Structure 1
Amino acid sequence: MLDYKRNPIPIILMFYAICFAFRTIEYFIFRTDQSMIGEAFIHKLAGILLLAASMPLFRYSWAEVGFSHKKVLRNISLGALLGAVVFTAGYGIEILIQLSAGNFTGLKLYVTSYSVLGNRGMQSSILFIMICIAGNMINVIMEEGVFRGQFVRLAEEKYSFFAACILSSVLFGVWHIMQPLRNVIDGSQSMAGAFMAGLILVVTSTLLGIQYCMLYKLTGSLWAGMAAHFMNNTTVNLLHVVTASGVDELLTVRIAIAQTLSFLIVLFLYISRNRKA
């Protein structure tokens, strides 16, 4: 085995490449996110299994990669509260904009699958809501466990937390290029449009990754980041702004407001904590 303590980056990139290969297969072959399920969850389950299988190899405990049993409910509550506050602001501003234009008609609860071309699908049965919730739980366990848990823990064997945070967050950003890439190959989006969508996804996802890394450092576990991540994804999938001219027309504005506010709050808390230390 490679000496992961002296040179952790090859191990991180190798693990990432395996996860990315599973993701590519699911997006281009199985396309579960385009099915009635509406979630690309197979590669996430594979990532969780790979994470579990790698633990004995690195001699890490689950607590050492962020799944600490200490203050679990407290940290989950903090992450959920953060998500609720910032998305209340995001929805509130979106609704005010639509009200000022005389366009707002209400909010609706149903399941969609998020896409860079707009939300897809419209399922309101309890079964699809449960599938959405379960899929997002699998998603946050895998992405937080791998990117913020294992990758940061491995990188910190040699490098600073800041360097580990940037590395894992950039990888998390690149992780999100799959959908625009598939859109180009399928012919549903132009090369220029896909490039811009991909660039926006990579940048915003990288910033999200940095935010969740800071939450990890602030709380000493992944639970707060997992809860905030879950609130981010599930809210977008379930709660929709309906207008006279369509649905979720200002979705990107809502998400940008919520994620920017969330990032600034976490950054403020992180800087404040470090100044006191």
Structure 2
Amino acid sequence: MRTEKNNILRAIGIFMLCLLVHGAEVFFIRTDETIFAECFINKVFGIIVLFVALKLWHKSWRDIGFKSESLIRNCAKGFGICALFYTLGFVAEFILLALQGNPGHMEFFVTGFSLTGNVVKQTGIGFVLMCIGFNIINVWMEEGLFRGFFITYLKEKVSPRTALLIAAFLFGIWHLVTPMRSVADGEMTLPTFAVMSIGYVVLSALMGIKWGMLYEYSGTIWIGLADHFFNNCVVTNLLHVVTATGTDEMQIMRVLIGELTSFVAVLVFVRRRKAIASKAHIV
């Protein structure tokens, strides 16, 4: 029991260290409000923490899912999952906008995701490449830490299910920083913050569970990492629905449809595969 608690406390300690740097960057450095349009310092810091943690744990990147085997095939699966289910989200968004008499069209430009709306458009190739680069850093850190490291490390002392849920919960809490800054800046009221935070944390946790299940199912980080990258970079930062009255006015609906449908699909798929494997083992 003592070693179990120690593993959980160490994982939480690493999380709190990364969260502290994340909060400092979002609240004070505000890199996402500069030409970079992305808070990347905390992600680079998280990758450095991962290097140190793996060395102290006597493990390699391969041990937390960064395996070269089937890299391309698994990344293609992740891209396919995101593209398929976000197509449903985009279609629903276009239909609803048309029914409201405010039809939209799709445009390609760089911007960030905001709880209070996207406001800045960048179309230069430099911004696109920067967006792709920062998103690679982002998913490397988040998938490496929350899926690869936390789940694998915690599984040494707790059940895979418990490890998955703890990692997903921490991933949800990680995403509280953005709405907290919106409150501090006066862009969001406390009641709105309460509602948005619950939804944001729950949705992030569900995404964490989905990517964790993909990690456990495949034994590699790549399917979830590719899905995560496509979600952040392409669906959120590069592809936008523009109408006569604004940009991405129903982005939240698109994200909810894309993430909830993909979560259910992955959950059903993984459970079916486990059931089939269990029956085969019994036979």
State TM-score, norm by structure 1.
Answer: 0.96
Question: How many Å separate the matches in 2 of 1:35 and 1:273?
Answer: 46
Deviation per CA, 1:93-113, whole angstroms, max 9, x where unpaired?
Answer: 111111223311411111111
Question: How many Å separate the matches in 2 of 1:53 and 1:69?
Answer: 21
Tell me how many residue pairs correspond in the alignment.
275
Q: Secondary structure of 1:116's match?
A: coil
- Say yes or no: does 1:7 pair with 2:11: no
User: What are the residue-to-residue correspondences of 1:47-196 with 2, within 5 Å?
Assistant: 47-196=46-195
Q: Secondary structure of 1:112's match?
A: coil
Unaligned runs of 5+ in 1: none
Deviation per CA, 1:156-195, whole angstroms, max 9, x where unpaired?
Answer: 0011110000000000000000011111112221111112
Q: Find the counterpart in structure 2 of residue 20 from structure 1.
A: 19
Q: Find the counterpart in structure 2 of residue 221 from structure 1.
A: 220
State TM-score, norm by structure 2.
Answer: 0.94
Q: Find the counterpart in structure 2 of residue 34 from structure 1.
A: 33
Question: How many Å separate the matches in 2 of 1:178 and 1:252?
Answer: 18
Q: Which moved more, 1:134-143 or 1:192-201?
A: 192-201
Identity of aligned residues (%): 37
How far residue 88 of structure 1 moved from its aligned partner, in angstroms, is 1.1
Unaligned runs of 5+ in 2: 278-283
How far residue 39 of structure 1 moved from its aligned partner, in angstroms, is 0.3
Q: Find the counterpart in structure 1 of residue 255 from structure 2.
A: 255
Aligned partner letter, 1:257: I
Deviation per CA, 1:127-161, whole angstroms, max 9, x where unpaired?
Answer: 11111111111110000000001100111001111
Aligned partner letter, 2:187: S
Q: Find the counterpart in structure 2 of residue 267 from structure 1.
A: 267
Question: How many Å separate the matches in 2 of 1:201 and 1:83?
Answer: 19
How far residue 196 of structure 1 moved from its aligned partner, in angstroms, is 1.3
Aligned partner letter, 1:269: F
Tell me if the contact between 1:180 and 1:195 (Cα under 8 Å) persists in the aligned partners: no
Aligned partner letter, 1:251: Q
Q: Secondary structure of 1:241's match?
A: strand
Q: Which moved more, 1:167-176 or 1:7-16?
A: 7-16
Aligned partner letter, 2:165: I
